[in-house]
């Protein structure tokens, strides 16, 4: 069997051989993008942008989401820009992209924000 054919079969089976090392190929799962979220980094992350009424509200949201993320053991990135613009980004570092964990986290964050706003 040719080397190219062996590599093609290995990739199809979910393992890519690089020299003598093997590593898992990150497959893109089909995920639902919750309302208010968008795909970023070529579909490798989910992000949400918020504008808050003031700096303290932005920090409160970060703290609430941090507690939720700790409970789920999946932690997003927070970017607080200026005094009231917050971006929350999630992706699975170990998979090199999005997984169902990101979908679940984004949905839970959306619910948490809805509850904060009385929705």
Look at 21-30, 50-59, 62-71 and tell me which has the smallest mean pLDDT.
21-30
17 and 66, same domain (yes or no): no
Same domain? For 95 and 51 the reply is: yes
CATH of the domain at 100: 3.30.1360.20
Strand-pair partners of 97: 92
Rounded to 5°, angle at Cα 110 from 79 and 55: 40
Distance CA 17, CA 65 (A): 38
Q: State pLDDT tens for residues 49-62.
A: 999 999 999 999 99
Q: Summarize pLDDT for 82-119 with one digit per residue, the tens.
A: 999 999 999 999 898 999 999 999 999 999 999 988 76
Q: Domain check: are 46 and 61 in the same one?
A: yes
Tokens of 62: 């970060």
pLDDT, averaged across the chain: 81
Rounded Cα distance, 64 and 7, in Å = 46
Are 38 and 20 in a shared domain? no
Residue 42 and residue 20 in one domain: no
For residues 108 and 51, membership in a common domain is answered with yes
Range(s) of the domain holding residue 15: 1-27
Residue 1 has pLDDT above 90, yes or no: no
Report how many domains make up the chain: 2
What spatial distance separates the first Cα and last Cα of the chain, rounded to whole Å? 60
Look up residue 106 and give its two tokens: 């984004």
């Amino acid at each position: 069997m040719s080397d190219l054919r062996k590599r093609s079969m290995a990739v199809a089976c979910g393992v890519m051989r690089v020299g003598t090392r093997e590593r898992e190929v990150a497959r893109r799962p089909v995920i639902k993008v919750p309302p208010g979220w968008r795909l970023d980094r070529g579909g490798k992350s989910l992000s949400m942008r918020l504008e808050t009424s003031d700096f303290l509200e932005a920090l409160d949201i970060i703290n609430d989401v941090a507690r939720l993320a700790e409970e789920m053991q999946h932690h997003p990135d927070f970017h607080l820009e200026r005094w009231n613009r917050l971006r929350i980004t999630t992706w699975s570092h170990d998979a090199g992209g999005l997984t169902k964990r990101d979908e679940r986290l984004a949905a839970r964050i959306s619910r948490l924000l809805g509850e904060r706003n009385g929705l």
